[in-house]
Structure 1
Amino acid sequence: MAQADTVQSLRISQARSADEREAVWRFRYGVYVEEMGKIALANADHKRRFLTDELDEDALILYAQEGDAVVATLRINNAKRTRLPPALETAYRLSRFSAIAPERLSFSSRLMVARDLRGSVALHKILSRAYELGLESGVVYDFCYCAPALIELYEHLGYRPYTENFLDPEVGYRVPLILALKDAIHLEAVQSPFWRKLKNRPDMWQEQKDADWLAREFPATTKAARWGAGEDAFWQFLADKLRPSTGSRVPLLEDLSEDERKRVLKSGTVLSCRAGDTILRAGDVGNELFVVLSGLAEVRLSKAKQTIAVLEPGQVFGEIAFIANVKRSADVVALAESEILVVSQTFLRKLMRSAPDLASKVLFNLSRVLCERLVYSTRSMLPEKPKPPEKPAKTSGAKKTITIRTG
C-alpha cells in the first residue's frame, strides 16, 4: 500500500483490552529489540517478544493502527495515579513541582513509530491526540526525556530542556524535557503543531505568573525559547563558539562557505553537559554526530579504562556510528562543563537529497576525520621500534700518548 493511503487509514485508539495492550508490547519489542538491537533491556520478554514494565499498569496507552497492524504508540502516566521510580523523580526534579496538584502533571514515554512511517504524519497524529487529552484532563506540565539526536524534534513540538541531563543505565545519555501545555506565547513562537489546537481557546492560555515561575525555577527554559523564536540568535551563538579567532579547527566545516557552514550548524541542537557526564557509552545504539563547542571531552576504552583522546572545541566524535549505523565503539565523558552540538543522521540524509554537493563536502570532511583517527590508532598500537645499540668508538691500533702538563 502507498504511504499516502496508509496514513489516511490510520486510526488512533486507546489500548484498553488485554489483546490491544499485548499488540503494543509486541510492537515495542520489534522496534527496540529487533530493529534497534537493545537486547539487554531488563523488561524485554524474549520468549513472548513483549516489552512492558510496571509503568504500563495504570498508564494511558495510545496506539496508531493501519489495518490490523500497530504502527505507532505512546504511553502517558498521570502523577495522581502513578509513582515514578525514584531515579526518574530525581531526574525530572519533581520535588520542585510539589506545589502543583499531581493530576496536573503527566509523563510521556515509549513513543515510537514504525520505520516505514517515520516520515509521515503518523507521529503528528498520535502526539496531537495525546495533547488534546492532556488539555481536556487539565494537565499543565508534561515531562519526557529523549536521546540527544531528538532534541530538535521535541523543541519544535514545544518541549524545552530545563534541568541536568542524566545517564539511563539501559538506553544511555538522556535529556529531560518539559512541555507547558497552555503556554500560548512559547507554542506560537516555536510554531508548534500544538499551537493550532490551543490558539482558538484563549480561556485555557497559561497565565504570565506561571510562565515567570517556570523561567525563574529553570533558567535553561529561557535559552530554548530565545533560540526557538529566531534562527539568527542560534546562529550567532554557534558562530561565537566556533569563530576562527579562538584558534579552534573545525574539521567538519573545512572548505565550506559561510552559507554552507550555517546550514550545517543550524541543523543541530546544543547539549549542555556537566563535568563527569557520560555522553556516549561503548555498545550503545545511536547515529548522532557531536561537535564540541566549549569545554573538553575525553574518549575512553571502557573496559581498559584507557584514555584514547581528549577533544577540544571544534573537534567531532560519534562519526563512525553517524555514517555506518554501528554501535558506539568507546565511551565519551565530559571533563568539564561543556556545550556539544548534536547533528542527526536524518539531517545528512535530507542534505543528500536537497543539496548533494554540500553533502559530499561534509562526507569528505568526515572521511578525513576517520582517516586521521585510524592513523593515530594504528600508530598507538604498534610497538616502539627498539633503538639500535650504540656503536663503540673507533680506535686506531697505535698506542696513545698522554701528555700531562703541569704548571
Structure 2
Amino acid sequence: MAQVLLATTPEARQQIYQFRYRVYVEEMNKNPRGANHAERILKDELDDTATLLYLTIDGDIAATLRRNRLSETPLPNLIHRALEIERFMVAFPKDVLSFSSRFMVAPKYRNSSIAGAIVVEAYKLAREQGILFDFSHASPWLVPFYENLGFRRYGDNFLDVDAGLQIPLVLLLDDIAHLQAVHSPMYRSARRVTTPTVTRDWFLEAFPKAADFFNTYQHSPEEVWEFWLHKQQNHSDQPVSIFQSLDREQLKKLLRQGLFHSVKAGENIVRIGDIHSSVFVVLSGIVQRQSTIHSNTTTTSVLNPHHFFGEVTLFASLPSPEQVTAVTDVELFVLPKQAAMRAIKTMPDAMCQFFLQVSQSLCERYVAKDVTYERSTDLSSSNINQAA
C-alpha cells in the first residue's frame, strides 16, 4: 500500500538520507556535495530546516521530496541569484516563497504514478501553508517532466557543480488555469481551492520570456510544425535525418513530447558522467562534442544544425561518455527516452525507423573506420575434425 508521510522523527529523516544515497551515489554513480560515504547518506545544510516528504510502499521508501520555506531558510548564493529570488521578494513576502529539491523516485517506480502522488501531497501542504511560488531547477532533459507538473521556465541557465547545466523553474500554485492546460496531476486538488489568482499577471509581466517557453508547448500542431521548419537551415521542408522516417503529422506529435531549449555560447550542455537518457538535435548554432569511446581515446567533433548527440546513452541510464559544449549560441530539441518510448505505442512503424537511425549512428561511432580485422580460421573444417 502506498502512503505519503512527513518525516517527523530523526529515524525517518535518516532513512530518507540513506535512500538518497542509494539513488544518487550507488545507482547514478554521482558524488554530490553532502554525500557521506562512511555512513552512506546524502544530507546537506538545507535539510536542517526542510520539510521532508516521503512515499512508502509496503514499508519501503519509493520516493522523496524536500521543501524549504524561504522565510526560514536562506538559499545558497548561487541558487538565490540564479533563481532571481530578489525580484520576487520585491513584490511578495518571503513566507509565500519556497524551494523544492532532492526529488527522487526509486528506479522501478519512475514510469508509474508514484511521482505524481508525492507531488500532489506536497502541493496540498504548500497551499495550506500559503505558498504562492515554489522554485526549483532541473537539467534540460528533465524539464518536460517538470513542465508537465506545472513548473515554468523563466530565467537563464546556470551551472551547478553537481548537476551541471540547470534551468530555473517556478510553480505558481494559484494559477489553476495553467495547471489545467498542462494536465498537471495537481490540477484536481488545485481546482478545489477558490482563492483568486494573484501571481500570474505579475509573473508574466516580470518575466515575459516565460510566456514564450509555455507557448512552444501550447501552440496548435500546425504552429509547432512551422516552428520546426523555421529552425531548419534554408527553411527546408524535410525533417532532420534522425526524424526522416516520420511524416508531417508524426513529427508534430513527437515534437510536442520534447523540449525546445536555448543554450549560450560556452555552456556545457552535457558533461562526462551525466545521466540524461535523451537525444539532442541541433536546430541552430554549433556545438563541440568530445567523446571517449574507442580504446579510451578522446575524439573531438563539431556538430552543426541537423546533427544530433546523446544517442550513446539514450536507451540506458548510464553515465555519458561525452562532453558537449556550445561553441555559439545554440537552439536544441531535446527528446527524453520516456517520450520516445511513448511514441512507440502510437506510431510503431515510424519509431522503428527512428531507432534504426540511432542504431546506425551508434555503429558508426563505436566501430573505428581505420581499424582492420583478420577473419578467424579457428572453426575451419580441420579444426572441427580435430575437436571431434
TM-score normalised by length of structure 1: 0.83
Q: Is the contact made by 1:149 and 1:288 (CA closer than 8 Å) also made in structure 2?
A: yes
TM-superposed deviation, 1:378:
4.2
TM-superposed deviation, 1:354:
4.6
TM-superposed deviation, 1:141:
0.5
Mapping of 1:134-145 within 5 angstroms? 134-145=126-137
Q: Is the contact made by 2:4 and 2:54 (CA closer than 8 Å) also made in structure 1?
A: yes
TM-superposed deviation, 1:162:
0.4
Moved over 6 A (4+): none
Alignment match, 1:116: 108
Work out the CA distance in 1 between the residues paired with 2:132 and 2:147: 17
When structure 1 is superposed on structure 2, of 186-195 and 153-162 the one drifting more is: 186-195
Q: Deviations over 1:289-340 (max 9, x none)?
A: 10111222121369x9x87222212110111011354322222111222211
Alignment match, 2:312: 320
Alignment match, 1:365: 357
Q: Is the contact made by 1:277 and 1:333 (CA closer than 8 Å) also made in structure 2?
A: yes
Q: What is the total number of aligned residue pairs between the two structures?
A: 367
Residues 200 and 353 (structure 1 numbering): CA distance in 2 closer, same or farther, change over 3 Å? closer
Q: Select 1:82's aligned residue among 73, 79, 86.
A: 73
Work out the CA distance in 2 between the residues paired with 1:67 and 1:338: 46
Helix, strand or coil: the match of 1:155?
helix
Residue identity over aligned pairs, in percent, reads: 34
Alignment match, 1:222: 211
Work out the CA distance in 2 between the residues paired with 1:267 and 1:189: 15
Work out whether 1:261 is the aligned partner of 2:251.
Answer: yes
TM-superposed deviation, 1:117:
1.7
TM-superposed deviation, 1:241:
1.6
Amino acid at match of 2:185: P
Mapping of 1:215-364 within 5 angstroms? 215-232=204-221, 233-242=223-232, 245-246=235-236, 250-300=240-290, 308-364=300-356
Alignment match, 1:198: 190
Q: Is the contact made by 1:249 and 1:315 (CA closer than 8 Å) also made in structure 2?
A: no
TM-superposed deviation, 1:357:
1.9
Amino acid at match of 2:34: N
Structure 2 unaligned blocks of 5 or more = 373-388
TM-superposed deviation, 1:91:
1.4
Structure 1 unaligned blocks of 5 or more = 1-8, 383-407
Q: Deviations over 1:153-185 (max 9, x none)?
A: 111111111001112111222211011111123
Larger Rg: 1
Alignment match, 1:4: none
TM-superposed deviation, 1:367:
2.2
Q: Select 1:43's aligned residue among 34, 52, 56.
A: 34
Helix, strand or coil: the match of 1:143?
strand
Q: Is the contact made by 1:271 and 1:339 (CA closer than 8 Å) also made in structure 2?
A: yes
TM-score normalised by length of structure 2: 0.87
Helix, strand or coil: the match of 1:57?
helix
Alignment match, 2:58: 67
Work out the CA distance in 1 between the residues paired with 2:261 and 2:268: 12
Helix, strand or coil: the match of 2:162?
coil
TM-superposed deviation, 1:249:
7.1
Amino acid at match of 1:283: G
Work out the CA distance in 2 between the residues paired with 1:137 and 1:127: 15
